Structure 1
């Protein structure tokens, strides 16, 4: 239990990353939280202004424990290529430091979609981490289900949503009309800050307001858009001022594309993981649709403009941001 009935001090691993920056900015914008960036002692990443920096040496667990002491919550955002033992080490340190709330490095698809989790090789690892956290017996665990990040997925590589805005190429999975939930980094930041701004538990037995405790060991489901590839393409046309005639358009069976991604990944091509991951989401069965579970309204999240998000995605790609890892 924190000193008060709210989250005040938040530690973030990966505060300088693409997602971490948005989480940090949103938390600071509330005026209710202080944020500490947990960084490697030799890291060159610079978090945004207003963030305390705690440099640690991962070969010395005591430095990590000391950096985490006194915090009410820990958020972990790391590359999926980071060694699994790194997150375990961080969890161990958080337990030793007495942190009561933790968000593990799990930002994505719906855990209830077991076949998707199995087919994309994500489920077993994430479940192992959740079980490891719960077995500690000292944490309140939070997970944000946000599906694919829109800006990251739209234009940084055609293995994702199927578009190459620079080359004016579009690849549709099936007929391109399967809809999925997808979230912007901004919306993820707003969601986390909304969660951590809630009172932890009811003030009294008559208090029926929303509390953080209601999300304990559960997923908070959020989304920016419920869209198909065709919807995304229409936005791309509007933002770029082009027409379909300006693009090279192709269609692929998502199951065949998934199989190709499997073979590529098995051969050592990491881009194959991205291909299978995204192709599997666009199967006709609708494993990327969790509209009925959304907590957007509950958390007071705003409606977003699809074209504005598409413009940000294009600008991101033009800045040199590219998909280079699974």
Structure 2
């Protein structure tokens, strides 16, 4: 077993809750940090809670003190606060920081200049500098698209309208991982601290394409459902989405199409050719299990 047993978890949303469950299952001592009391209710037995003011260094340092690892699982709205948390982690004696960088293409050198990646690239560079000087270790996880969320939003296809906008025949592959698998991978990485120190780890449950998801949708949708397929040129969609975001980089309604085009256009490294699943003890999701996960969603909706 590794020596990093005490973990501060920053944020308890859908990802944070799954990570918390997996850390507890693997015997870690966890303290959940939250800016409001509602975020630290109903915690599993033995899990500590700390209310924290993210705008106060003193509050952050106090909440982080005594922990070996800080894991950021908060919402994207707080990504810009990570530098302050990293500084507080160093002051508190935290050994390793796992940033809120749970993306498909944030670590692809070709995608560094995309507007939504800018704050994450800054954090990556900051962590590397601090690791070089021995102030703090890091582990960055590239996890692909969140498997749990794929069908909740009209990203790959739109369940509510039975419509799919198909990029280049839906042939471009992308990695995908569930939130619980991310939790398992984090636990596995902390149990192998030397092998995962100052590294970007690539993990996935499975590799998907739009065509594959559509085939499952057609197989399991009720007979009354007719899928509308709109075929688009991926490069054109990407270029238009990028132009639109430049008008207002803070508008998520403009960022969403750019994220979609970036993932589905085949332009970037979003299907990981080599993964670290074995290192962190994460099995792959078999096609039958994947179909089972998706089938319930299509039949229900």
Give secondary structure in 2 for the equivalent of 1:35. Answer: strand
- CA drift of 1:167 comes to 1.4
- CA drift of 1:264 comes to 3.4
Deviations 1:211-234 (A, max 9, x none): x21222211111111111011112
How far apart, in 2, do the equivalents of 1:217 and 1:122 lie?
A: 23
- Asked if 1:236 corresponds to 2:221, the answer is no
- CA drift of 1:250 comes to 0.9
Q: Counterparts of 1:68-107 in structure 2 under 5 Å? A: 68-82=64-78, 84=80, 86-107=81-102
- CA drift of 1:114 comes to 1.9
Indicate the structure with greater helix content. 2
- Asked if 1:7 corresponds to 2:1, the answer is no
The corresponding residue for 1:307 is 291
The corresponding residue for 2:232 is 252
**Runs ≥4 residues deviating over 3 A:** 41-48, 134-137, 266-269, 311-315
How far apart, in 2, do the equivalents of 1:88 and 1:47 lie?
A: 29
Q: Counterparts of 1:163-312 in structure 2 under 5 Å? A: 163-198=157-192, 212-242=193-223, 246-268=226-248, 269-285=251-267, 287-291=269-273, 293-304=274-285, 305-311=289-295
Alpha carbons 1:64, 1:90 under 8 Å: kept: yes
Q: TM-score, normalised by structure 1?
A: 0.81
Give secondary structure in 2 for the equivalent of 1:261. Answer: helix
Structure 2, unaligned runs of 5 or more: none
The corresponding residue for 2:56 is 60
Give secondary structure in 1 for the equivalent of 2:115. Answer: coil
Over the aligned positions, Cα root-mean-square deviation in angstroms equals 2.5
Q: Counterparts of 1:104-143 in structure 2 under 5 Å? A: 104-110=99-105, 113-118=108-113, 120-136=114-130, 137-143=134-140
The corresponding residue for 1:34 is 29
| Shift in alpha-carbon separation, 1:183–1:242, aligned structure 2, 3 A | farther
Structure 1, unaligned runs of 5 or more: 199-211, 319-326
Aligned residues: 292
